[in-house]
Structure 1
Amino acid sequence: MSEQLRYQEIAPPAFLFDLDGTLIDSVYQHVIAWRTALAEMGIDLSVWRIHRRIGMSGGLFVAALLRETGVRLSTEQLEALQRAHAREYNAQIDSVRALPGAPELLRSLTERGIPWAIATSGRAETARSALGTLGLPEDTPMVTRDLVRYAKPDPDLFLAAASLLGVDPGNAMVVGDSVWDLLAARRAGALGVGLLSGGYGREELERTGAFRVYTDPADLLQRLDELGVRQ
């Protein structure tokens, strides 16, 4: 007599989303905000150099750029730089839009009972406004830079987001647009999914650990079955 195979049903994966360049089209607003803030300190950097660091924590971002220029700033100047960036970004907030398919993707996951959260290297003063842009309520699960010790490429943001949802990071997928998101995902023990909507190339994202790469949230929504999400 053949034995019937037994297996334990595995829950569908949870999703942990980066914010800038992943759900909202805001990468270049951040680039210009940083460029303006740096210029106020007398630091002139090309836009492409700034773009390559977007997605890191603000502290690492500034440290990396200053290393390239050889400029040294005091603690007070660094804090002033962060405030100037927030001011300049918020001045452009009306030009920030949800990326194609982002609200629909989040709504679809919610309707299917699949847990998700947002984990961003941005601070609450700039990140919380994205909830309205995405049509999300104020109580949407979100972890910002203010809530963890270290931001990307450290795994803290994604570990905190998984904890907020009550899920194992190993059963979560991190969706991000930068190499810093994918490095943090690997360190958190989660699978990485890349999006091209933040300006990084497919090969860069795949080399950093993305096992699938999509154009934007709309493309991901159409191919959710490739990630183990079924109707």
Structure 2
Amino acid sequence: MSARSGVLFDVDGTLVDTTYIHTICWAQALAEAGFHPPMARVHRAVGMGADLLVGHVLGADLDPSVVQSITDGHDGRFEQWYDDVVPLPGARSLLAHCAGRGMAVVLASSSSAKDLDAMRRALGADAFVTAATSSQDAEQSKPSPDILAAAIDQAGLDPDRTVAVGDSVWDAEAASSIGVEFVGVESGGYSRAELQDAGAVHVGADPLALLAAFARTPLARLVG
């Protein structure tokens, strides 16, 4: 069977409105461990994998047990927000539109499998999803491209006919490092200019904006 065309969708901040929830959870977990970085710095790191975020925010190498304790603190807090997770405008419709035009729709997230399951329930779009990957499917998290490479392999995609969609510069870096075209959304808090500087060839405000401009985005070339 020939390789398919497809779209690799990040989930946090791209399809569901969780970026600022994660910011709060990370900031509280860091504070509990005695660290008080500005929340703006924490926000800028959301989108990286949890295994990299703590060191990036604090600018220091910490004992792995401390990093794990902070990560566990974040994870426990985020679980308490599961019922508050909501899809971003147009998220379900964009996935349905892509699937209806013959593309494989793949969720390529650095989140844990448990968090991804909660976000998928909130999104309510599994009928349109071909495959999904989580942190357990890659040795390294974003901005490493491991998650995207695993998603391409799992869904049987042709990398030359694949587009990645995400909300952070970490998503853009992961895509560009394996030569996959990147489309950005501003719904995670990064600006159009920042996403373009990181390599985005098209940027929309949110999934609804991508759907409205679909014919003018790189997604349109994947139809058929």
Superposition TM-score, scaled by structure 2 size = 0.91
Please, which of 122, 134, 156 is the counterpart of residue 111 of structure 2?
122
| Offset from partner CA, 1:17-66 (integer Å, 9 cap, x none) | 01111000000000000011111101112110100111111121111122
Aligned to 1:174: 164
Structure 2 counterpart of 1:16, which letter?
Answer: L
Indicate yes or no: 2:122 matched with 1:133. yes
**Alpha-carbon RMSD:** 2.0
Please, which of 52, 71, 79 is the counterpart of residue 90 of structure 1?
79
Rounded to whole Å, the distance in 2 between the matches of 1:25 and 1:189 is: 27
Aligned to 2:46: 54
Indicate yes or no: 2:96 matched with 1:145. no
Equivalent position SS for 2:74:
helix
Aligned to 1:225: 215
| Offset from partner CA, 1:72-104 (integer Å, 9 cap, x none) | 632222212111111111112222110000011
- How far residue 150 of structure 1 moved from its aligned partner, in angstroms, is 0.8
Rounded to whole Å, the distance in 2 between the matches of 1:115 and 1:193 is: 16
- How far residue 110 of structure 1 moved from its aligned partner, in angstroms, is 1.7
Given that 1:86 and 1:125 are in contact with CA atoms closer than 8 Å, whether structure 2 keeps it comes out as no
Rounded to whole Å, the distance in 1 between the matches of 2:144 and 2:207 is: 24
Aligned to 1:188: 178
Change (3 A) 1:211 1:137: closer
Given that 2:37 and 2:58 are in contact with CA atoms closer than 8 Å, whether structure 1 keeps it comes out as no
- How far residue 13 of structure 1 moved from its aligned partner, in angstroms, is 4.0
Q: Which deviates more from structure 2 when the two are superposed, residues 218-227 or residues 37-46?
A: 218-227
Aligned to 2:22: 30
Give the structure with higher Rg (CA): 1
Please, which of 129, 144, 151 is the counterpart of residue 154 of structure 1?
144
Equivalent position SS for 1:171:
strand
Structure 2 counterpart of 1:42, which letter?
Answer: G
Given that 1:18 and 1:181 are in contact with CA atoms closer than 8 Å, whether structure 2 keeps it comes out as yes
Aligned to 1:4: none
Rounded to whole Å, the distance in 2 between the matches of 1:137 and 1:179 is: 26
Q: Which deviates more from structure 2 when the two are superposed, residues 17-26 or residues 162-171?
A: 162-171
- How far residue 12 of structure 1 moved from its aligned partner, in angstroms, is 8.0
Rounded to whole Å, the distance in 2 between the matches of 1:155 and 1:207 is: 18
Please, which of 4, 9, 33 is the counterpart of residue 17 of structure 1?
9
| Offset from partner CA, 1:172-202 (integer Å, 9 cap, x none) | 1000010000010001210000101110011
Equivalent position SS for 1:23:
coil
Given that 1:179 and 1:205 are in contact with CA atoms closer than 8 Å, whether structure 2 keeps it comes out as yes
Equivalent position SS for 2:160:
helix
Structure 2 counterpart of 1:15, which letter?
Answer: V
Rounded to whole Å, the distance in 1 between the matches of 2:130 and 2:21 is: 23
Q: Which deviates more from structure 2 when the two are superposed, residues 167-176 or residues 47-56?
A: 167-176
Equivalent position SS for 1:98:
coil
Structure 1 counterpart of 2:73, which letter?
Answer: A
Structure 2 counterpart of 1:75, which letter?
Answer: P
